[in-house]
Structure 1
Amino acid sequence: MAITDDLGDLYALLGVRPDASDEEIKRAYRARARELHPDTNQGDPTAEARFKQVTVAYEVLRDPERRARYDRFGPEGVFGAQPGGMGGFGFEGGLGDIFEAFFGQMGGGGVRRRGPQPGADAEVQLQLAFAEAVFGSRKEITIRLPATCATCAGRGTAPGTEPATCTDCQGSGELRRVRQSLLGQVVTSVACARCNGTGEMIPNPCADCRGEGRRMEETTLTVEIPAGVEEG
């Protein structure tokens, strides 16, 4: 269910009158947010969904322009379909920041360093004689697979050189961002874009693998063909 589905009356969500002042709306939101926050209602999806809806209501009513559109046109004036998503609803610096702070970083939050990523399954076509398909056989195949670069031993650096500490994250692989939210200061961590979260830069990459630490090489494998195998 979308957050904006079944919102009902935004003023009722916050428990305030339609003529409530900005300060009354702010106080009401803080009280409702503390009551419904997922940290104090762990394992309660209803409270979490309600918390998000209350946050949507506050983001609309705290902004004079959005509130005026809502008062005049109702939900369609704010959430109506327009190019770019929710018509007229500005996420930049508002709801997006709050959701990223309180929902995107829950459950551990930390950023893992990126290790070798698994590749796709290799697929090879073999021609089998009738007897091989019926009784099974053993075949040798030659395929190209990623392997550790022998020149740099997988380090990605040119021989005789070393990786350098990333100057953006100082080797931590993470960048910390501090945001001021309605519930206080929130610190979040994101992977460093400059070093892809590794904490290192390679100023002199290996010429053979171009700094990747791996390169495609031909490998011969022996595969067992089971008896009774069919096409595919």
Structure 2
Amino acid sequence: MKRAIVLLSGGLDSTTCLSVALAKGYEVYPISFDYGQRHKKELDCVRQIVKYYDIKNHKLIHIDNVGGSALTDSNINVPDYEGTSNIPVTYVPARNIIFLSYAVGYAEVVDADAIFIGVNAIDYSGYPDCRPEFIEAFERMIKVGTKRGVEGKPIKIETPLLKLSKAEIIKLAYENKAPLHLTTSCYRGGDKACGVCDSCVLRLKGFKEAGIEDPIEYSIDVEEKFRTL
């Protein structure tokens, strides 16, 4: 059976990505990261998702927190949704470079042909490491910087969500019966999603446009929020 590494954060996108890899018939090797993020609830979600799918090959990597982001530095507040095109303070320096580097190494160890990552270039928060240019550059690096690459068997980075809207991602997740009720998207990491940070608002807008009720709990009145989206 063909094998794939799946970057699994516990969020909506990465869980949908996992469901796509499974639907394509891959034996999956999910990999998650504890990088000092304030929203550690997502790691609890990861454990539940892995249990839901009865996956035995999950790996959790611990990385020192280098700070520099509202997601990793408690002195920087997570802002409410602003809808600007500027790179926000929730950007984590080089996060996907680091995550994909670990994933490439793990792929060589388990002889995986692909790495699935839930990056999205449409409904995203302006992060430079979610763009197609970044993925293309990283694939070129894999070809020249790994044993598989120089031997003509480069590892493919699969980005099934790259050009989908959030509503389309949600519909795909439901088609694949992905457990979105076990996911979280909130940057603030409370017991209930805040409903006002960038990630929460993009998620809520996606569910509204998809015509589907979001199965997770929020600390705000979601129906009231829908009227402002």
TM-score interval for Structure 1 and Structure 2 normalised by the shorter chain: under 0.3
TM-score by length of 1: 0.23
Q: Which has the higher helix share?
A: 2
Q: TM-score, normalised by structure 2?
A: 0.23
Which has the larger strand fraction? 1
Higher relative contact order (CA 8 A, sep 6+): 2
